[in-house]
Structures are given as structure tokens and as C-alpha cells.
Amino acid sequence: MTQSTAPATAASGAKPTLNSIAAATGVSRQTVSNVVNDPSRVAEPTRGIVESEIRRVGYRPSAAARQLRTQRSGLLGFRMRAVADGINGSILDRLLHALTERAHERGYAILVFAAADDDAEIAAYDDLRATNALDGFLLTSTNHGDRRSDWLAAQGIPFVAFGRPWGRDDAAHSRDHDWIDIDGGHGTAEAVRALAADGARRIGLIGWPEGSGAGDDRADGFRRACAELGLEGDLIERAEDSFESGQESAERLVGRGAEAIVCVSDSLALGAVARMRALGRHDVMARIIGFDDTPVARAIGISSVDQPIEQAARAMLDLLVHRIEHPQAARTDGPPALLLPTVRRRTVA
């Protein structure tokens, strides 16, 4: 006999409703409706209690009824990018998974599409809005002078970007459009502090070529921490994001006297660890910190900066839904504070 795995409900066999959830949590039906449709209107801990009951009973809003009532499709567009090396692409995988989960909780669905470059992505926006009536878009990999956000804003299409509007004046405080970001500079600064606490005085950085918004931000954090600690801040090698580049850059850095290395990606860190092992520089190998805390880094034991991707995804999705469902709502005085990553220390096997 097969055991049923259907979620429990307030009344056995009954489909959960706003009323049954309200009764179970001791709040009003309107409060439950607000948690489902506009959670920012409900304060903690009430929102958390209601969301927990919603998950427990498996409540899902009726998509058909919602579309008829709101004249919206409930679809959000997300461009899936090609993975260059199979390592750092896991960050966008995590983001998409978390976005999809949160969208499901909010009664929306993610429509994933491919585009070769930003021009093709803009063309896809236009086509998808015409053929699928998407309600909004979730942008990733923002860049200097990003034309995608300009196009969407000009068309009046709701969107939220994962990443600051790089290239704009004071990007960290820009209110040109909605965005959520993680403070990469804080992550590399914390990595420098962790290595300095281990006794390292000559710490190098393997960064991306100049002009990458996220890469430059991480390099700035490295320099700030070095200046704060009285360390040399110009032991920097710029490289394309690959295992091979990590190998070559790490060898150049130790040739310049580096005794520890911060990398702006786990791809670069993996290459650096491999080259240090080959050179017999186990002292440096034990003092390499990557960025993104990918499954590969965790499996090998490489220390890495862990980004709160799931928290970012929930914030992105909730902000986009708010913009879709409350188009006349005024903007706040600024974007939410940058989310802070955490350094995860490990010992390389």
C-alpha cells in the first residue's frame, strides 16, 4: 500500500483556503490575502507565521482566477546564460532555483529564455511581451551602461536587476531603477582580513579585467582592506575568468612575493590551488580564498566567499511583484542595503 504524501489541511481532505489559513493562524482573511499578494504590507512575525502555515498546508492561489481578476499573465521572464566553465555558472543556477521557488509561493511562474547577447535579450523582451504577455523581467549580469534596463524603463515594463547600475554616478546609491545586489567588495575585504589574521602580510588578488562592475567592486574591497591593515595593495593580477588564468596569475603573484591569494571567482581559485600544488607551495595553497562558494570549492576544500543568493532572489521577486501589482506606488528613498556575503574557511585536501 502506498502512503499518501499529500499536505495536511485544516480539515482532513479539504482544500486549503484563505479562510482556513486565517482560522489556523488566528489572523484575519485579509491579512492572509496580504501575505499572499503583497507580503511587504504585513509585519513580522505575523508574516512568517502565515507563510509557514501556507507552506504546511500546500496552499496555492488559483492562477486562472487571478488572471481574470488582474488581467495579468503571472509570467516573469528570465534569461538563462550559457555556462562558460561549469563552475561559476552555479551561482545563476542557485538564483534561478530560488526565484522559481519564491515565484511559486507568490502565484507566479518563471519563463526561461535564451539570448546570445544583450541586443538579443532586448529583442526577446519585445517578442515575449507581444506573444506571451509577460508581466515583468528579472535581469542578471548587469554591466556598464546597461542598455537592457534603459530599454525596459523606456517601455514602462516592470523589472528588477540582480546587480547595481554600473557606470552610473554613485551606482551603489542609484535610484534609476529597481535592483538588488550583494556587496562583493565587502566579501573580498573580509577575505583579506581572514588571511591577515592567519599571519599573511603579502596578500595578492587575482581579479577580472578592468571595466567589469562586479570585478572592479571586488578589487576595490581588496584595496580598502589592505589600506586599513597597512598591507601592500598592489599585488594584483588581472585575468579572464578561467582555470588556466588562475594558474598563470597565481604563479606570477608568488613570483612577486605573495604568500596568500584572494580570487574574485572559484574558477580562478581552483586554478591557483592546482598551480600552487604543482609548485610545491603548500603554504600559499592553504591561503587561497575564492568567491561564490561553488559546489566544486566545497568539494575540494577551497575557502570561498559565500553570497546570500537565496535572500537576494526572494528580495528581487518580492520587489518585482510589488511593482507589477502596485504600479503607482512611489519609490523609496533608495535601494535596499547591499546584502553581505560571508567567508567560508576550509582546508584544501
Q: pLDDT tens for residues 38-56?
A: 787 899 999 999 999 998 9
Task: Write b or e for each residue in 191-218: b if 16 or more Cβ atoms lie within 10 A of its Cβ, otherwise e.
Answer: bbbbbbeeebeebbbbbbeeebbbbbbb
235 in the same domain as 277:
yes
116 close to 122: Cβ distance less than 8 angstroms: no
Q: Please tell me the number of Cα atoms within 13 Å of 75 on its side-chain side.
A: 13
188 in the same domain as 160:
no
Q: What is the grid cell recorded at 221?
A: 574591497
Tally of domains within the chain: 2
| Average pLDDT estimate for 1-14 | 45
117 close to 140: Cβ distance less than 8 angstroms: no
User: How many Å apart are CA 99 and CA 142, to the nearest integer?
Assistant: 17
What is the predicted pLDDT for the residue at 18?
A: 87
| Average pLDDT estimate for 253-266 | 97
- 111 pLDDT more than 90: yes
Residue type for position 228: E
Lowest-pLDDT range of 238-242, 257-261, 262-266, 329-333: 329-333
Domain that holds residue 89: 74-182+309-327+335-340
90 in the same domain as 100:
yes
Q: What is the grid cell recorded at 202?
A: 603579502
295 in the same domain as 189:
yes
Task: Tell me which residue of 68, 66, 53, 43 sits closest to 18, measured CA to CA.
Answer: 53
In a domain, 296, yes or no: yes
In a domain, 35, yes or no: no
What is the predicted pLDDT for the residue at 332?
A: 58
In a domain, 47, yes or no: no
In a domain, 291, yes or no: yes
User: How many Å apart are CA 47 and CA 44, to the nearest integer?
Assistant: 5
In a domain, 4, yes or no: no
Q: What is the DSSP letter of 130?
A: H
In a domain, 39, yes or no: no
What is the predicted pLDDT for the residue at 6?
A: 39
> Could you read off the pLDDT of 70-94 as tens digits, one per residue?
556 789 999 988 766 667 668 889 9
313 in the same domain as 177:
yes
pLDDT above 70 as % of the chain: 87
Q: What is the grid cell recorded at 165?
A: 547600475
189 in the same domain as 116:
no
Q: What is the DSSP letter of 41?
A: G
Residue with the three cell numbers 562558460: 84
Lowest-pLDDT range of 64-73, 107-116, 165-174: 64-73
253 in the same domain as 217:
yes
- CA dist 316 → 76, 155, 167, 219, 323 (Å): 12, 20, 21, 25, 11
- 125 pLDDT more than 60: yes
Q: Which range, 5-19, 91-105, 160-174, is most confident? A: 91-105
In a domain, 347, yes or no: no
What is the predicted pLDDT for the residue at 151?
A: 94
113 in the same domain as 207:
no
Instruction: Give the start-end residues of each E strand in the chain.
Output: 75-79, 109-113, 136-139, 159-162, 179-180, 203-207, 236-238, 260-263, 288-291, 303-306, 342-344
What is the predicted pLDDT for the residue at 349?
A: 74
| Average pLDDT estimate for 236-256 | 97
What is the predicted pLDDT for the residue at 168?
A: 63
User: How many Å apart are CA 35 and CA 29, to the nearest integer?
Assistant: 10
190 in the same domain as 252:
yes
* Chain mean pLDDT for the chain: 87
What is the predicted pLDDT for the residue at 35?
A: 87
222 in the same domain as 178:
no
Collect all residues with Cβ–Cβ distance below 8 Å to 6 and sequence separation of at least 6: 58
Give the chain's radius of gyration (CA, Å). 23
Q: Which range, 90-94, 110-114, 126-130, is most confident? A: 110-114
Instruction: Give the start-end residues of each E strand in 202-329.
Output: 203-207, 236-238, 260-263, 288-291, 303-306
Q: CATH no. for residue 203?
A: 3.40.50.2300
217 in the same domain as 140:
no
- 2 pLDDT more than 90: no
* Helix count and strand count (H, E) for the chain: 14, 11
| Average pLDDT estimate for 215-227 | 97
In a domain, 234, yes or no: yes
What is the predicted pLDDT for the residue at 5?
A: 38
Q: What is the grid cell recorded at 61?
A: 492561489
295 in the same domain as 190:
yes
Residue with the three cell numbers 499573465: 73
